[in-house]
Structure 1
């Protein structure tokens, strides 16, 4: 059901976390909540947000309020997709023997559907790491494919797919498996099915899995197997409501069109016990035609509907008494579906949930010495290269006698040897450092020294970002989130 709730979110989450009203305490207000917050649970700020000005806070459900366990939930989705490929789309039965490594893929990758490649790029869209299936593409091949065009590809066309949600990791892994299988087993997959066609089939199989309700039934049957318990969520929601904020949930496929005010979809109230839809006038239930004496529970004075289907963001603003879009904070996990639309289209303030961030910041925190070593090695490389360029210039452009040229040549040989050693040490140290984050793709938010494409999107579209939605409960509901000072290269060199 495409629905949004303007109240009652706490009771929805209680089924996952097992809280009763009497047990709910604001995490921030508790003695533990006033202590130093673990770095993995902090809220980071790109654009200032004064919570005193926020009157309504909305949440996505999947991977936001409901934190799925990738090792079980994504494996369930993967197995269902493989079965659909074999049974519905005619792929070889060998696929049924495959398994899913949920740790392999990361967000922020781009699939080159035409070539069968998986790419990680920096914020300037330069490809830094590339695999064909599971085969690492060499530097020369990578440059020849992605680095030599006069106008570089924007990677946004129909030939590319963006892995920006945790739901996409299984399909990316399956695509890589199919690429390897096709390359290694000529004839097993029809020649008419190129890499792009295989990706299209994977997407179709994924949609079939979600459409037939199998995944939902399995999760509903045993929620604890597929959803992580987060004891911070219920207290956080209670704290926000107690502080006077309206709390709402916008979930499922309602969101793409829901975020556009020109969408004229009718707004229906949902009778939660029966599932019955009731016509409304901007949220006020209307008596049913032909049954004028019907008594609706929501017609009782001062009672409002809590769950709705359809409608658009204009209806929501009226129901929440929102005077300006900037008074709404929306929390979600999807850069495009949740954060970009709600910020660029609506002007809402945004918070992105990045579960991977908890590990990322802890590794960074424990690697201060390594990062200093890398900075020193890079600085040493730069100094040696500067000296080398200066000496080469002297040899080529200055009038020197034979003795002077001989001395400079000896110095150059020594510097070239030194540069090779430092370069090798720097590259190896950097490789080991990035493998601490992920053995294949490295640091989520970086590619080398540049911010990754994913980090660039987080910085541009998320006012706030954090590892778990419950982290909101560790901070005052009146907190003023302020960004750190921006630094340009000349600033950081002077201040370091």
Structure 2
């Protein structure tokens, strides 16, 4: 979808929908769809891609083999079955057990994580980790990520990675609940060695009023809500926090809209997009030229059509009609060149969906959300390590369409 929620690319299974099919499916109602749950499933995380691809395979199978599918099965039922199966993999620990057995197979090692955290902490700033995962899995992942700097010979899990964080909250309740301090979820202390939970006597309140308890002796907790986190960190203002996450809805949108935190969205695909954008500068110039040529031809066509309709052009009418026909042919030729060049350009980014941040010339719906809710965005969090912790990240200037020609942009 583009930023106005118009569907630009759509597939049924692995079959791309034509323009007419898209209009029939998404654009023919008097009241436009909001494209929100529960009528639609939002594919907005890396976790979601697996189930989306499995569902597309099943759609193709059902269309090609109707006799092999149980009677009464429809697309919504099939998707709910896929969704339930994937949820079960998360709930019963199957997925995380596989990762924990061999973290290197599933997790990209980044040797810049520890130096970045050390630099941030040496600058006098606090760091915290908040995750839905429980302590045992969190410990495995963080030991792997920080391992080259903290592992002792013969020791698998030594918890030394905890030195890089002031507070760690595991087993975070569902995102929507965690980001509301009226959520009554209890906060428990976690004993790192045993994994046992202990009652945590931490009251939610003004950090300034309870400053004598602002520096917790304990580091690892489970559950709770954002009020507990603010209290543990002695945060007086939401704008003091920069929250880094990779989920546009669960992390960035909620923390920005509900709390007013500063936000940074991690977009792994961005690295490849930037590389391809750099390589396609000449293509982008060609696309701009073709678009301007289309606009110019269409303007001439419109001018001719109105002249033929209203002006007394008896003597030149035949000539103008011939010119009009020529322009119509030129328009179709340039339109085809432009559309084909645009398609090839987008397919370089992804052969099915094209460029992540664009749908044609419009920003995609995803890009629009990034603009609205992410103060910063980057391909990986360790890009922070390339700059001083004291750097002030200034936004680029916003422009309205009427400013481009006036300012020569």
1:463 corresponds to which of 366, 375, 389: 375
Counterpart position of 1:260: 180
Q: What stretches of structure 1 of length at least 5 have no aligned partner?
A: 1-120, 285-301
Confirm or deny that 1:356 pairs with 2:276: no
Offset at 1:283? 7.5
Counterpart position of 2:44: 164
Please give the residue correspondences for 1:262-281 in structure 2 after superposition, counting only pairs within 5 Å.
262-281=182-201
| TM-score, normalised with respect to structure 2 | 0.85
- For the 8 Å contact 1:159–1:196, the answer to whether it is kept is no
Q: Per the alignment, do residues 274 and 212 of structure 1 end up closer, same or farther by CA in structure 2, a change over 3 Å counting?
A: same
- For the 8 Å contact 1:270–1:276, the answer to whether it is kept is yes
Please give the residue correspondences for 1:58-73 in structure 2 after superposition, counting only pairs within 5 Å.
none
Q: Deviations over 1:112-153 (max 9, x none)?
A: xxxxxxxxx111111111111111111111112212222211
Please state which structure has a larger fraction of its residues in helix: 2
Alignment partners' CA distance in 2, 1:148 and 1:395: 35
Alignment partners' CA distance in 1, 2:295 and 2:359: 19
Confirm or deny that 1:423 pairs with 2:343: no
Q: Deviations over 1:388-439 (max 9, x none)?
A: 00001111111221x3101111111221122122111111111111111011
1:214 corresponds to which of 65, 74, 94: 94
1:343 corresponds to which of 248, 256, 260: 256
Confirm or deny that 1:330 pairs with 2:243: yes
Q: What stretches of structure 2 of length at least 5 have no aligned partner?
A: 133-171, 205-214
Counterpart position of 2:145: none
Alignment partners' CA distance in 2, 1:493 and 1:334: 37
Counterpart position of 1:404: 316
Alignment partners' CA distance in 2, 1:191 and 1:463: 50
- For the 8 Å contact 1:356–1:467, the answer to whether it is kept is yes
Alignment partners' CA distance in 1, 2:272 and 2:75: 34
SS at match of 2:8: strand
Counterpart position of 1:131: 11
1:490 corresponds to which of 380, 402, 406: 402
Q: Deviations over 1:98-125 (max 9, x none)?
A: xxxxxxxxxxxxxxxxxxxxxxx11111
Offset at 1:303? 6.4
Please state which structure has a larger fraction of its residues in strand: 1
Alignment partners' CA distance in 1, 2:24 and 2:196: 59
Offset at 1:460? 1.0
SS at match of 1:128: coil
Counterpart position of 2:162: none
SS at match of 1:246: coil
Offset at 1:201? 0.4
SS at match of 2:200: strand
Offset at 1:242? 1.0
Alignment partners' CA distance in 2, 1:256 and 1:400: 68
Counterpart position of 1:201: 81
Please give the residue correspondences for 1:239-254 in structure 2 after superposition, counting only pairs within 5 Å.
239-252=119-132, 253-254=172-173
Confirm or deny that 1:375 pairs with 2:292: no
Alignment partners' CA distance in 2, 1:281 and 1:349: 28
Counterpart position of 1:236: 116
Q: Deviations over 1:313-349 (max 9, x none)?
A: 1111111111101101100000111111111111111
Confirm or deny that 1:304 pairs with 2:217: yes
- For the 8 Å contact 2:216–2:232, the answer to whether it is kept is no
Higher relative contact order at CA 8 Å, sep ≥6: structure 1 or structure 2?
Answer: 1
